[in-house]
Structure 1
Amino acid sequence: MDLDDLLGRDGFGLLPVVPGRRRPVLGAHVVEIGHPTRWVPPGWVLLTTGLRLGSPADCRELVAELAAGDLAALGFGIGIVHDTVPAALVDEARRRELPLFAVPEATPFREIVRAVDAAVLDRDRDVFRRTAAITDTLTGLLDGPVPQQSLVHGLARALRCGVALHRPDGSVLAADPASGRAGAAERWTRFRGLAITGPPVEVVDADGLFAAAVRPRGELRAWLVAGASRGSVPVPLIVRAVALVARLLGGLAAAADDDALRRRADRAAELHRLVAGDPAPGPDAGTHGPPADRPRTVLVLAAGTALADAERTLDALRVPYLLGEVDGSVVAVVGEDVPAPGPPVAGAAGAPPVAGAAGGLPVAGSAGVAAGAPLGPGHRDARLAARHAALTGGGPVRAGDLGVLDRMVLEIGEERTAELARPLLAPLAPPLVETVRVWLAHRQDVPATARALHVHPNSVRHRLGRVQALVGDLRDPAVLAGIYLALLTGG
């Protein structure tokens, strides 16, 4: 019921004195004592015969209090204490825009109170029925393939309004099809300018904007924002529906977090078991990673790669994988569906190349594992490849591309190899070391080396002659092997 409904009620004969805007009437109460707003809440109608109104000042004081208390209206009974509505009461009501109506002597206050109570009860009963129906509809959407989106769309249909789910930064996670992202952006702009008043619905404005936070385990994860017309659906129903969907979305987020933690732990446990060669698999073995009866690839990711970042990248690929930290490195096992690591990517000026990528992952070293073969040897080879990438400043490195000398250095250890080989380069000045490094990198091609060093080929030959005079015959495989090892270990 609203004020116009009450004033138009047949048989009451209520006479509007000061009209007001159409607004809901939440209740009615008779008060004849001072300070009536102690007993009459906002949105209610106060009924009085003016028993205590002995002066114009008393009239103005009463109206001021009722207006400040946001009452719906003042109903003044005439013919009992006052024959007409006091002029001061009318003037002050007009000044403060408080609706005022006269109640004829033949209309008992109790009948007005009873009529308002019955209308409010009918409204609440209708809200309850509609809330129950909406609750059944919305909770039924949890079984759908995309429950988050289904809840947003279902709320929009139930309230006949625009609804969107936003990340805390305002980006849209889901929006109703009718208003779309444009409507979501417009509502978010309005939402940002409003004060947060508290749960269950944390923002409600006069223009019909309703917002509730999605807080799984107390963490703000998203905002559910609806723009509903107050005239089309009762406000209590809107509040309950928006709060319900926010709670359901929070439950979905919490459940997804639990599932993600469980999957993360299962993948890491399976990875450690396979790397260690554990012959006793757990009950869920093989349910997360790529199938063992098909070729697999072990990836050791570049130093500094965050486990969470690698997980997001692999989840986006939608392929089976294992992931975890092994011996201080982030290790992934993927199948044939993930592209092999690419070439090194140039870093900033003066910086070494960074590791290439497999499916978007920053890879330092990789090793293939044949179908049905154990994973442990592949992990060891991938670690050697990653150490080689770190040693040379390049990447990524495939274990199958490592030469015998490279493997020997990596197996023996760089420090010990450097200790044995580095004295071979001690007699050489830096320009000679750089010349022989480029010469070996260009497969002992003198013209190619000269072009890389921007010098004449004769200059390269002269420098190589000096190198040979200081360290030995460069045609001797043993001398060349020693120089290569010295350069490989930082010479």
Structure 2
Amino acid sequence: MTKRSNATEGAFLLGDLLAHPEFKTQLLTGAEQGLLRPVAGAHAMETENPSSWVPRDWIMLTTGIRLRGRADAQRALVRDLSEGGMAALGYSTGVATKNVPPAMVEEGERLGFPIFSIPFEIPLRSVVTFVQRVVLAEDPEVVRRVMATQDYLLDVAGSADLGVGQQAPESLILTRLSSLLRLGVAILDVDGTPLFAEGFVEPKDLSKLLRRVPSTAPSEVSTSTGRLLVLPIRSGERTTGWLAVSLPRAGDAKPTTMVVAQSAARLLGLVTMSRESGPQRREILGAQLLAQALQESATGEDSLEAPRGQDDLEIRARDLGISFSEPAFALVIPGDRDVAPEPWRYVVRAFNETKAPYLVLKNRTEWIVLMQGNEDQVYDFATSLGRLVGIGRPVNGVRAFRRSVADARFALVRHRSDRAKSLVARFTSLPLAHWLIGTASGGDFEEMCERVLAPLTDQQLLLEAVIAYLAAEQDILRAANSLHLHPNSLRYRLSKVEERIGAPLRRPETVLSLYAALSARGYV
């Protein structure tokens, strides 16, 4: 129980929040007077100069993603909050760092500024919601202002007619948001392309900058056109886009800017959620199913057959059109950072036109697909995409999907190593040796590979000699030329390899063991 003075009687204090058992917080600094600090609100954010946004007596919550490995920036954040009269800093552990960085703790102790930790399993939004609920209940004027702002925005979404020729609710929301903030605003897709804009100048480097901001909290970024406040637009647990607000070039932004922008971002998330029906909803459910299949199968055996009876994953797959009446295959389509996003549109078009049942899990580095059909049909479809695709082995159940994904990725690795001309890499078309290596998995195989290569791990020249020798198909002259060595020098190194591994390289089993271990690690 926090001991109150007459000045703090009736106020919501930091000690009241930290005493809440559900959040499992731990106060690290500022214990002497920190518990008696009044709390007027809380924000989860990852921005520079947070005192420009967070009013006095508010708590800033952070995951530390922007601060990882930057001791000077960590200390500067604590100083900024302390000098700005903030109530405290809450740090979510287990996201960017295991614990609160020592530099932050040291600065907090020096300044007597309260810093507390929040376990990874506690969502920051739960803390924000709790604080806002308590504070709003104590301040009717704040309630009135917040409700007025939200009503002003909700009025647009509620009255918008989506008929032909009518303005989309997102556009109407932006118009009102821009008038409230008197700043340029835009709705961006997940890759940073503006979908709707109001007085917004698009920076050239926005897409790259968005890759470095968290998808669960507001962030401030510096761009070629100035500062931006970027807030995730979330539909459930997914980030479906971004709300960007252009900030003034000079002076601090108003603290209310963050509150109003967050209300708009939540409303835009609700608009998105209301639209996610039909094909969009099927796409979302399919992605969730594949993500769960990859996660759950990682904890058990990767069987190529479905288990007896139909579990929840199998039933959900059937409802989404994957009945496994014929085999299905995993396809992995890697992204290419050197290629503009335009080619992905052709991939989307191909998927929209195919009649084969499929589910897709998309992320920034690759698309992972489960497609049902015979192998030739799947291969023809992959070829039609016109870009690099890996195809795993056929499976008859969702829980085997992870194994097929691993196959597809292995086929892509071999495809690149072999410099194949085709754009499609099929696991089932691999040579027997590669197939055996790709099939082998688990701790025993890794342990055997480690044992085979152990005599060479600290001998870089000998390891390079073996790799070149096997890559050149055991041709001494070719291998020596690739290393810029005299053939006799290479022969000498290979003789030293034989001494260290205790077996002659002329034996097939010796070559196979080395090749398997090196191939599993992507050396050959």
TM-score, normalised to structure 2, is: 0.35
TM-score, normalised to structure 1, is: 0.37
